[in-house]
Amino acid sequence: MDTQTRLRVYVVLLISLLETGLCGGWSLSQAGLHNSSYNVRHLSTHFSRVFLSISVEHNDFPTLIEAQWPVSYLPMRTVIFPNSEVHANKAELKTDCTRLQQAHWSQVDSLSRLWVMDVGWPNHECAPKLLVFDLIRNNAELLRIDCGQHIEANATQSLVVHLGPKPSSCELERHIFFILDGQPHILAYDILEQTWHRRELQSKKYENMSQAFAIKPIDFTFGVQGELIVSDQDGALFSSIKRLQLIGSTQATVSSSSSASDMLHIQLTRLGSLLGPSRSMIMDYFGALFYVMPKFGAVVRCAQLANLTAEGNEIIYLTSKNIQQIFFGVEGAVWVLSDRVLKPQDICYPGL
């Protein structure tokens, strides 16, 4: 099998101080991708289903792929999601903005709806959009949301998207959140009201400071209580401490010419420092934070976030290959997604 058409996933199971590694892979040639090289952007799961967002050279193949997970046989089956008619092809790059062009992110909500972020082909004018598919009713398209007034086309390379936490155990997810690298705010789409909100991110950074500074996030996630967790380019880690509430956010002093969307901000508290700029931050049910250091090919675990120092950052996995994403599997397993073929000896380093 050509290494350009194979995707590998590795798992790191944390057992005391040892890790046990397993691996699996998807053959994208089963979905029809044979000769074009590709890169994986994002992965999401729903029970035994997994959804891969990929970038394909020459933009000549659909960018949202469904596979099975986990299975006891290899290679795992892959198909175009939901079907090829939904996707734009090369001949339609400049004219058809209604079809799915470049899948960037996906996530499944509590109603088994798959939310997909389509950022459009590079260097073309189609506005970014959200598409929603019903996984229970034969993958039917339910909704599409134009994001062009809030997220610029061709400015989405560093876009990070997350479905927000449920307000309570008996409620559904209410918001989808977005950050763009270098922008000192977070965007939110209200699923129920179908409205957009922007909140500036500010922090005094240190307790003895009276002035609040703008925080420019590059990565974010949510804690066990629904609080916003943010990291910046310098590796500093911040938190809203309490559950993120868009309604009732702190009102800032603004001039009469400022727009309503600029009048609210979220006050963040500095928790400490990561080992460097992060990617793919996730938090488990016990409050431990996991993140990727892309520069060093490392997965890092922080058991305690208060007054976080370098000593509180535990490297649990290292590889010389690219790590695109980490995500949780069953029983707390941390799975590592790579868009490159790794050898079995690359799986883990026991005893770290």
Q: How many domains does the chain have?
A: 3
Return the pLDDT at 19.
34
Tell me which residue range forms the domain holding 294.
279-302+311-351
Could you tell me if residue 15 is inside a domain?
no
Q: Does the model's pTM come out above 0.95?
A: no
Could you tell me if residue 87 is inside a domain?
yes
| Domain identity same for 55 and 106 | yes
Query: Where a domain ends, among 96, 116, 149?
Result: 149
Could you tell me if residue 22 is inside a domain?
no
| Domain identity same for 43 and 126 | yes
Could you tell me if residue 133 is inside a domain?
yes
Q: Determine the average pLDDT of the residues in 310-322.
A: 89
Radius of gyration of the CA atoms of the chain, in A: 20
Going by their DSSP bridges, the two strands 129-134 and 113-118 should be labelled as: antiparallel
Query: Where a domain ends, among 118, 149, 180?
Result: 149
pLDDT in tens, 114-126: 999 999 988 788 8
What's the N-to-C CA distance of the chain in angstroms? 33
| 117 vs 342: CA distance, rounded Å | 28
Could you tell me if residue 171 is inside a domain?
yes
Residue with tokens 């957009």: 196
Confidence of residue 257 (pLDDT cuts 50, 70, 90): very low
Could you tell me if residue 43 is inside a domain?
yes
Is pLDDT above 80 for 85?
Answer: yes
2-6, 219-223, 257-261, 264-268 — most confident range: 219-223
pLDDT in tens, 156-182: 888 999 999 988 888 899 999 999 977
| 124 vs 132: CA distance, rounded Å | 23
Return the pLDDT at 34.
63
Could you tell me if residue 7 is inside a domain?
no
Q: Determine the average pLDDT of the residues in 17-27.
A: 48
pLDDT in tens, 123-157: 788 899 999 999 999 999 999 999 999 998 877 88
Residue with tokens 């209410």: 174
171, exposed or middle or buried, with CB in 10 Å at 0-12, 13-18, 19+? exposed
Could you tell me if residue 298 is inside a domain?
yes
pLDDT in tens, 58-71: 788 899 999 887 65
Query: Where a domain ends, among 120, 149, 178?
Result: 149
